[in-house]
């Protein structure tokens, strides 16, 4: 089978102005993905980074220029959701219609599904299939005021049964701990809660809902058994895992809030078996979800799966169950470095891309 030279486009988000700042932004993203880009280029791939808001990225240009599209560099897409949605639902499908061999990783239909955390409601309904999600409800963000939130919490039987357990609020279109707020006393909302809700109103994406979720204290457990796990799956294979812990005075595990990360190999004995099983099962489910979404959007099926990578986040409960917090399919940090446990994931991702270019 002949091998072609892949022409890869890593999609970025907004390019600042003026032009010099745009150049600096691309350089920043190049540095962010330096090990992945270096490996791909060393293997002979042509790699470019361009914003999905670049008017030059028409379906015709994409179809005639690139063989692969990847979203790993599209940080900050949540601040430009109308343009991003147009790119996912119009530009890329049209490009793939013009060039049926064009591959999009992850597929645009699945990325659009994953861009709004309302997908958790779908996973929450699959508890009989082995997916256990923290109790999560959704309210219309644009019309929910403090009184409406208080009424919702007061009518929640789980909150009534355990009023001392906090709940988490966040917009359903969010990333990296953006606008995430911990309500410490659900039945006695405070001015800080009101301020957090007001901030979400002023900055949320147009289609965002208000996510109200059970808080899992084991995220911040101080006995060494807690934290949140990220299971990294590349091309169907668990390549490595990461345990993430918040700093002592924080509930968010994101690096912007001082979280500590501990990458480890997939075969490390510390990696929870329940997490492995959920990640494997979820990958199979996502492949079927990809097929159904493509069918719904009129995508001409050619037998090629485009699901390439996933980060499956969860917390191990006291009973050993893996509680699924999120599945990240768009631009998750995957710890794919040229040294350490993530090197296996780096090689697997580049192998998959180059192997599909045949």
Q: Domain-by-domain residue ranges, the chain?
A: 7-104, 116-121+219-352, 135-215
State residue 341 phi and psi, 5-degree precision.
-60, -30
In words, the CATH class of domain 116-121+219-352 is: alpha beta
pLDDT attached to residue 1: 42
**Identical fold at 116-121+219-352 and 135-215?**
no
pLDDT attached to residue 179: 81
Contact predicate 37/47, CB 8 Å: yes
Which distant-in-sequence residues (6+ apart) come within 8 Å of 246 by Cβ? 219, 220, 252, 253, 257, 258, 259, 260
**Separation between Cα atoms, residue 176 and residue 183, nearest integer Å:** 18
Query: Helices 34-42 and 342-356 meet at what angle, rounded to 10?
Result: 40
pLDDT attached to residue 93: 95
The distance from CA 240 to its chain's CA centroid, rounded to whole angstroms, is 17
pLDDT beneath 50, residues of the chain? 1
pLDDT attached to residue 205: 82
Which distant-in-sequence residues (6+ apart) come within 8 Å of 175 by Cβ? 77, 78, 330, 331
Looking at the domain that runs over 135-215, which CATH code has it been given? 3.30.1490
């Amino acid at each position: 089978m002949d091998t072609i030279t892949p022409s890869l486009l890593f999609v970025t988000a907004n390019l600042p102005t003026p032009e010099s700042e745009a150049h600096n932004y691309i350089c920043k993203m190049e540095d962010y993905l330096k090990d992945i880009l270096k490996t791909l280029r060393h293997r002979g791939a042509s790699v470019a980074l361009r914003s999905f808001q670049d008017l030059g990225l028409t379906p015709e240009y994409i179809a005639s220029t690139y063989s692969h599209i990847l979203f790993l560099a599209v940080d900050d897409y949540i601040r430009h959701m109308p343009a991003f949605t147009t790119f996912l639902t119009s530009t890329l499908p049209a490009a793939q219609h013009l060039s049926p061999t064009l591959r999009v990783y992850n597929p645009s239909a699945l990325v659009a599904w994953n861009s709004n955390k309302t997908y958790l409601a779908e996973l929450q309904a699959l508890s009989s299939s082995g997916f256990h999600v923290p109790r999560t409800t959704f309210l219309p963000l644009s019309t929910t005021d403090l009184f409406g939130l208080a009424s919702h919490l007061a009518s929640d039987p789980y909150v009534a049964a355990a009023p001392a357990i906090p709940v988490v609020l966040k917009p359903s279109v969010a990333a990296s701990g953006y606008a995430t707020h911990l309500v410490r006393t659900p039945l006695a909302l405070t001015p800080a809660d009101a301020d957090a809700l007001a901030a979400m109103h002023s900055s949320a994406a147009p289609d965002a809902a208000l996510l109200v979720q059970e808080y899992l204290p084991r995220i911040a457990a101080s006995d060494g058994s807690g934290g949140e796990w990220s299971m990294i799956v590349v091309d169907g294979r668990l390549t490595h895992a990461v345990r993430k812990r918040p700093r002592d005075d924080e509930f968010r595990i994101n690096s912007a809030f001082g979280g500590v990360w501990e990458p480890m190999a997939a075969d490390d004995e510390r990696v929870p078996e329940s997490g492995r099983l959920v990640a494997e099962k979820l990958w199979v489910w996502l492949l079927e979800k990809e097929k159904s979404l493509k069918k719904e959007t009129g995508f001409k099926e050619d037998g090629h799966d485009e699901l390439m990578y996933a980060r499956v986040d969860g917390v191990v409960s006291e009973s050993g169950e893996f509680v699924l917090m999120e599945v990240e399919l768009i631009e998750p940090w995957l710890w794919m470095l040229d040294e350490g446990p993530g090197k296996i994931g780096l090689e697997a991702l580049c192998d998959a891309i180059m192997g599909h270019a045949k």
